[in-house]
Amino acid sequence: METDYRELFEQLTSRYSGADPQALLQVLCPTLIPIQRLDKTVFKVPGENHFRASFWIAIDDSNEELIIRGRTGKFVPRDYAGGGVWREIAKGRIIEVDHANGTAAGEVYVGGTRKELADALEQLTEGDYLEIDQYGAAAKVLSGLVEYSFAHIAKQSGYKVTRMPEDMARHLGVYYHYDFELERNDVMKRVEVKSLWGTNTRYARLIHSKTAEYPTSSCKFDTQDIFAVNLFLRTGDIRDFAFARSVPIEVKPHGLPPASNYPEHVNQNPSCEIGDGTWFGSLDEVWYLD
């Protein structure tokens, strides 16, 4: 069935009268700025335990409003712009702006060890892009697309799907600490949708905000029955997920490791590899584990 793009655009903009295609593009799609020069010499930030390398970009009419000291972005491969797979190689931060000469200097970092930065630098080359989310919408759009994709997959697999509210008025009951309820054959299970760790996609990111009930930033095991981790940051496909059940591995096989000092909480950065005995490639595989 052929897509009617005019009708699609009119539906997209019906809520936002006056928004044109360029506005949608600028808000939804980050700007790509090619690396002009790259120095892979790793240095330690004075007074801090952080490691960095250096890069330079050119300032022009298409990006000058974004280039300011402190601006951050992600480095992505050059072939992504030509239809290749999106992936984050490292992060970048502007530290010096020279408008007179039309250049800006910045630091390459990954938020990890010297070796992790060195590994990222092996993959980063001049001509790759610094991707800047112009209006802060990209992360929220990605999150929404991930949850839409999960719900679509679950429905196709024969589950009844209920999306939980993002907030709960106090007089209506307690807050739901999970994203979806799935039901099949009168059995209901709670699912929390998460993502991979940004610059080290070997690991899942099973985190929760610290509160009186959460002394650590790790999810509790009893908050949900299943974790669904989206693999977009690894594969570039929003439809790819890994699934694990939310029980300690010491209690049941195919479980997850607990946090070191909080046995009621899951390790917030467990390795995530389908087929490793913990993570599975479909909901059905996890649903029927006893």
DSSP 239-268: T-EEEEESSBTTTSTT-BPEETTEEEEE-S
In a domain, 20, yes or no: no
State the 10-residue block means of pLDDT for the chain, 290 residues long: 82 83 86 96 86 96 93 93 86 95 95 87 95 90 93 96 77 73 96 87 88 84 95 91 95 91 92 95 92
258-259 and 241-245: which strand pairing? unpaired
What letter represents residue 285's amino acid? Answer: E
* 86 shares its domain with 164: no
How many C-beta atoms lie closer than 10 Å to residue 3's C-beta?
Answer: 7
Centroid of chain to Cα 121: 21
Range of the domain at 62: 27-132
Q: What was the pLDDT predicted at 13?
A: 83
Could you say which DSSP state residue 222 is in? G
Is this prediction's pTM over 0.75? Answer: yes
Examine the fold and report which residue of 132, 162, 196 is the final residue of a domain before the chain moves on: 132
* 82 shares its domain with 31: yes
What's the CATH number where 125 sits? Answer: 2.40.30
User: What residues pair up with 279 in beta bridges, in sequence order?
Assistant: 274
What's the CATH number where 232 sits? Answer: 3.40.1350
Q: How many domains does the chain have?
A: 2
* 41 shares its domain with 169: no
Residue 215: closest CA among 167, 260, 276, 150: 260
Residue 29: closest CA among 141, 116, 123, 128: 141
Q: What was the pLDDT predicted at 169?
A: 56
Look up tokens 């801090």; give the residue.
48
* 147 shares its domain with 277: yes
* 71 shares its domain with 162: no
Examine the fold and report which residue of 73, 98, 132 is the final residue of a domain before the chain moves on: 132
Residue 107: closest CA among 70, 60, 77: 70
In a domain, 263, yes or no: yes
In a domain, 151, yes or no: yes
* 107 shares its domain with 164: no
